[in-house]
Amino acid sequence: MAVAHKTIIKRITAIGDKKIFVLYFLLLVCSFLHAEDGYELWLRYKPVSDAAVLASYKQKITSIQLNGNSPTLQVIKEELSLAFPGLLKTTVPYVSDFRNGTILIGTPSASSTIKSLGLDSRLNAAGEEGYLIVSKTINGKSCIVITGNSDKGVLYGVFAFLRLLQTQQSIQSLNIASAPLIKLRLLNHWDNLNRTVERGYAGFSIWNWHTLPGYIDQRYKDYARANASIGINGSVLTNVNANATVLTASYLEKVAALANVFRPYGIKVYLTARFSAPVELGRLHTADPLNDTVQQWWKDKVKEIYTLIPDFGGFLVKANSEGQPGPQNYGRTHADGANMLADAVAPYKGIIMWRAFVYSNEVPDDRHKQAYNEFVPLDGKFRPNVMVQVKNGAIDFQPREPFHPLFGAMPKTPLMMEFQVTQEYLGQGTSMAYLAPYFKECLESDTYSNGKGSTVAKIIDGSTQSYSITGMAGVANIGNDINWCGHPFAQANWYSLGRLAWNHELASDQIADEWLRMTFTNDKQFVTAAKSMMMASREIMANYMTPIGLHHIMGTGHHYGPAPWVKLARADWSPVYYHKADSAGIGFNRTATGSNAIGQYFPGARTQWENPATADERYLLWFHHLPWTWKMSDGRTLWDELCHKYNSGVDSVRWMQKTWDAQQSKIDNQRFQQVKMLLAIQQDEAVWWRNACLLYFQTFSKMRIPDQYEKPDKSLEYYMQLRFPFAPGN
């Protein structure tokens, strides 16, 4: 208790007035209750604040008719029992008849009434997971129907309906049909069995393997609720830098316990498979995918898994990359390795997600080119239940990257998108960076693989390449911090991943609007101000970290803070490899006169980058090494433009601080103060990035920082000597 509260209580006690003490104590309790720690995410279910809207909701929602008794219908009932009393400030009874305001929930197979409503054609279009929310008159009563072809679809429909209420939308005349554009919508947890999280900035792993399977933490259920509410239907529980121990019998029982929690919410569990598991666990002398004994070992292991978890999703595999074992250890291809595992899971309708994140320092070619070079020759050689999981860009989740050239280059192989929700290269846990615009930037990029309009989104959803299975994954930013994601605004990136995986056509500002209203408040002034911060935040970070196409100049290992001066024995882990600054200029020449990585793109896409005079300047130094005096489109020299971008990034963080300070009266103090402090850290880090990078690049340009900008208050040597041996997520 704060000192001020202790002092007041002492004075009240001295007065001896018990009534005053009780009153003050109640006020004190209320002040603590008003504080919010962020645990509820976007499922807070606080009372609808607009009196007129609340009255209309109470008129339209008077009773519930729930048809069915499956585990999924039971969790729907539990969710409504949380939501309606919170939102409407009253309980809503369950009935068997129809009244004005009845919410009719269920599938046509469970409800003859729903079956009789003539919704067949629309339900056919909804598929297995889609839903309808429609206003209907039933037996002369005005009702709302929430239905789908499966209980899972109904669950998604219920969450969509609750989202309408949470964001105070009209429900007077509903006619909503929605179905996911992508089939597999997954979170990839880079969680280790010792509960550390690689690239995790929100504490330890939420999976407590030590107490599983006997102890089922409530957080597991709340995790499933949150994912189902945004349409995520799969969770890869373990790190891509895999540990074979998770495939042992005792750990599979723990995995099965989590699968049992997730199943009613429509979520399948997946695991990462360490390719050398037959050697490490089975004591075989080889893990050669063409070896009969190895193949049988995997078939036996898969049978063991499906006996415990009948709806197990399959494996995600990182192989022959960054020290991970793989088929190339035995002179085999990625297709050989993936197909062996695919054959093992195929009888159970499982899938293999084989990551395309491969590169080697022993290969002399540009790292940008290596995945394309390895995988394109294998197009059409993978089993039908294999997906190649491709990062959004060819390097590694940089603040800005051109889309990966593999998109559109493998028409015979389903390609699955891999985004990074955790902010490994975007300020980590201390920075506000709303990533929906980042995701959309990639998804809306035109590959020209099948003519103009062949966007990355249309490739991964199968509409351009006609893939039989489609998928989008995001590397999770979830930990055991009370608010799940560390930074309060980092929750928006988890939310955005789910919403865009369901419907990549949604606008970034719409997603931000939903999340703010559900997570904080429906106050219009707050939503407008906070949304402006969110929508600008990623661009602000790109400006003060890696402007004009610079990339991978972060501190090595932990990737925290600037370190453009680092030169390691391994070139492709060295920032100097990527910016190539010298007295002549800066940037990586990936044109035909350089590494020719640009040649991996289709001609229509290449044209936006190959001529530096007309190139999209956001990617200029990604593809070109240009002189410091190069004239930019705004008339500045390249050096002056770098100075401008770095300084505008710092100024913009200060704008975010002022914008946030004005919101204090509109939300709870706990989260307001939390974001305020984090923005102060971000401002310091933006200054650090600006000063360190400009001082370093100035050693090559030999040019002055223009007079209108703040000058660094510390030396380059100071920044070069900074060390972070215990940076989180390393």
DSSP alpha helices (H): ranges in 393-520?
A: 436-443, 456-460, 491-502, 508-519
State the DSSP string of 19-57: HHHHHHHHHHHHHHHH---STTTT---PPP--HHHHHHH
Q: For residue 635, how far is the Cα from the chain centroid? A: 38
State the DSSP string of 587-642: S---STTTT-GGGGS-HHHHTTTS-TTTS-GGGHHHH--B-TTPBPTTS-BHHHHH
- Nearest Cα to 633, choosing from 609, 617, 611? 617
Active site residue 424: yes
Cβ-proximal residues to 82 (8 Å cutoff; 6+ apart), any chain: 43, 45
- Three-state SS at 585: strand
Of 36, 374, 424, 513, catalytic: 424
Tokens 């050096």, residue located: 639
Q: Is the distance from CB of 111 to CB of 104 less than 8 angstroms?
A: yes
Tokens 């882990």, residue located: 573
C-alpha distance from residue 63 to each of 98, 165, 190 (Å): 8, 16, 43
Half-sphere CA count of 691, side-chain side, radius 13 A: 17
Active site residue 523: no
Spatial separation of the C-alpha atoms in residues 597 and 601, rounded to whole Å: 8
Spatial separation of the C-alpha atoms in residues 11 and 8, rounded to whole Å: 5
β-bridge pairing 415-420 and 386-391: parallel
Spatial separation of the C-alpha atoms in residues 252 and 342, rounded to whole Å: 19
What's 404's DSSP letter?
A: P
Beta-ladder partners of 103 = 64, 144
Q: Is the distance from CB of 339 to CB of 386 less than 8 angstroms?
A: yes
Spatial separation of the C-alpha atoms in residues 247 and 52, rounded to whole Å: 56
Of 396, 509, 617, 651, catalytic: 396
State the DSSP string of 53-104: HHHHHHHH-SEEEE---SHHHHHHHHHHHHHHHHHHSS---B-SS--TTEEE
- Three-state SS at 166: helix
Contacts of 142-146 with CB under 8 Å at 24 or more apart are 142/60, 142/100, 142/101, 143/98, 143/100, 143/101, 143/102, 143/103, 143/104, 144/60, 144/61, 144/102, 144/103, 144/104, 144/171, 144/174, 145/104, 145/105, 145/114, 145/117, 145/119, 146/103, 146/104, 146/105
Q: Is the distance from CB of 636 to CB of 643 less than 8 angstroms?
A: no
Torsion sign across C-alpha atoms 24, 27, 29, 32: negative
Active site residue 717: no
Q: Is the distance from CB of 157 to CB of 133 less than 8 angstroms?
A: yes
Of 17, 128, 322, 616, catalytic: 322
Q: Which residues are catalytic?
A: 322, 396, 424
